Structure 1
């Protein structure tokens, strides 16, 4: 399926349930989740780490950096139209205790259900070529700067919300949600720039 084609059947809840299937054994690795979701489905591979950034998992040392690097890697390969995702072995091998992930993962169903209720296909131009490059680029930038913001409170969660909006918008074909994500990202960048200047 072309990377910018709107999914016809899968919903955010479907995605969360599919990811749940990867939570097996004592530990769950990034590679387990990527392989379960499918390496050719880039938008879902942005949504789950973005949701994780607004969960209690974001408090785990190094977790924000890992999610940011995954998001940047997925976005870059999405922009270059790779047929399947490649991640370095050290990134695929990163893992957490499965019982801890399961506790947080149950929370994913709440925003997923809400997103399925409020999203629909609209503003199609923003989720297809050539303009789809904009949300992809913003996801790349947000992911790339995340390691530098690890110690600044709440920034990773805010970026997680922004990336979730952009990724879900691309996933379900909702250009309005993408537009909201772009505006949030622009507002955050302006706020950070103002703080740096002053």
Structure 2
């Protein structure tokens, strides 16, 4: 299996890695962060987006809010250059059952294998260190928006897809995916505005 830093199949591999980190039948938020490292923005937000959009997991009440708050705290600390990410104990110990991860993996496997063939290194100027910081800033806003958006059925899928595009773009140095991520982020803004106005 490829590692999170040099994955050639990021969508398939990210779930494999999360399953590998289960302890006693569950994978905690802290286990997942420890496996990717505090400076690994791409894998963390990719997995967060996948958790939110896969119905087997994302439809569980409270999961989108926990994911949103976790990513918000992670990305803020990433932006200021923290070497070690701090999370409240309630979030660090929040966990996902191994079986739910495996079920999600099995259901999504055909799509993930197909999707992984679409990613390649291109438009690499979009994945520079500066753009990584810009991406982290946008992800911070998406994560914050995800918490109230859980109240709207299916709405968290929009920022969820944006996080997936950001994660894949950063991991695979795929600038096209990052462009799609920014467009999906605009979709989140539009969705929020349409509800509030």
Instruction: Name the TM tier (shorter chain).
Output: 0.7 to 0.9
SS at match of 2:138: helix
Alpha-carbon RMSD across the aligned residues, in angstroms, is 2.1
Deviation at 1:153, TM superposition (A): 0.9
Q: What's the offset of the Cα at 1:110? A: 4.1
2:108 and 2:190 mapped to 1: Cα distance? 29
Is 1:77 the counterpart of 2:74? The answer is no
Q: CA deviation at 1:173?
A: 0.6
Structure 2 stretches lacking a partner, 5+ long: none
Greater Cα offset, 117-126 or 92-101: 92-101
C-alpha distance in 2, partners of 1:191/1:27? 33
Query: How much has 1:54 moved relative to structure 2?
Result: 0.6
Asked if 2 retains the 8 angstrom alpha-carbon contact of 1:51 and 1:108, the reply is no
Kindly tell me: are residues 171 and 34 of structure 1, through their superposed partners in 2, closer, same or farther at Cα, counting changes over 3 Å? same
Give the match for residue 4 of structure 1: none
1:132 counterpart SS class: helix
Q: Matches of residues 1-80 of structure 1 in structure 2 within 5 Å?
A: 7=5, 9-11=6-8, 12=10, 13-56=12-55, 57-80=57-80
Q: TM-score, normalised by structure 2?
A: 0.85
Is the 2:127–2:173 Cα contact (8 Å) retained in structure 1? yes
Gaps of 5+ in 1: 1-6
Which piece of structure 1 moves more, 163-172 or 20-29?
20-29
Q: Which segments of structure 1 move beyond 6 Å, counting only runs of 4 or more?
A: none
How do residues 1-198 of structure 1 correspond to structure 2 at under 5 angstroms?
Answer: 7=5, 9-11=6-8, 12=10, 13-56=12-55, 57-107=57-107, 109-197=109-197
Give the whole-Å Cα distance in 2 for the aligned partners of 1:161 and 1:47: 9
Following TM superposition, by how much is the alpha carbon of 1:139 offset from its aligned partner in structure 2, in angstroms? Answer: 0.9
On the 8 A contact 2:158/2:184 being kept in 1, the answer is: no
2:115 and 2:139 map into 1 onto residues whose CA distance is: 19
* Residues 195 and 100 of structure 1, relative CA distance in 2, 3 Å threshold: closer
Paired position in structure 2 for 1:3? none
Q: Give me the whole-angstrom Cα distance separating, in 1, the residues matched to 2:17 and 2:85.
A: 18
- Taking the aligned partners of 1:32 and 1:132, their CA distance within structure 2 comes to 24
TM-score, normalised by the number of residues in structure 1? 0.85
Contact 2:69–2:144 (Cα < 8 Å) also in 1:
yes
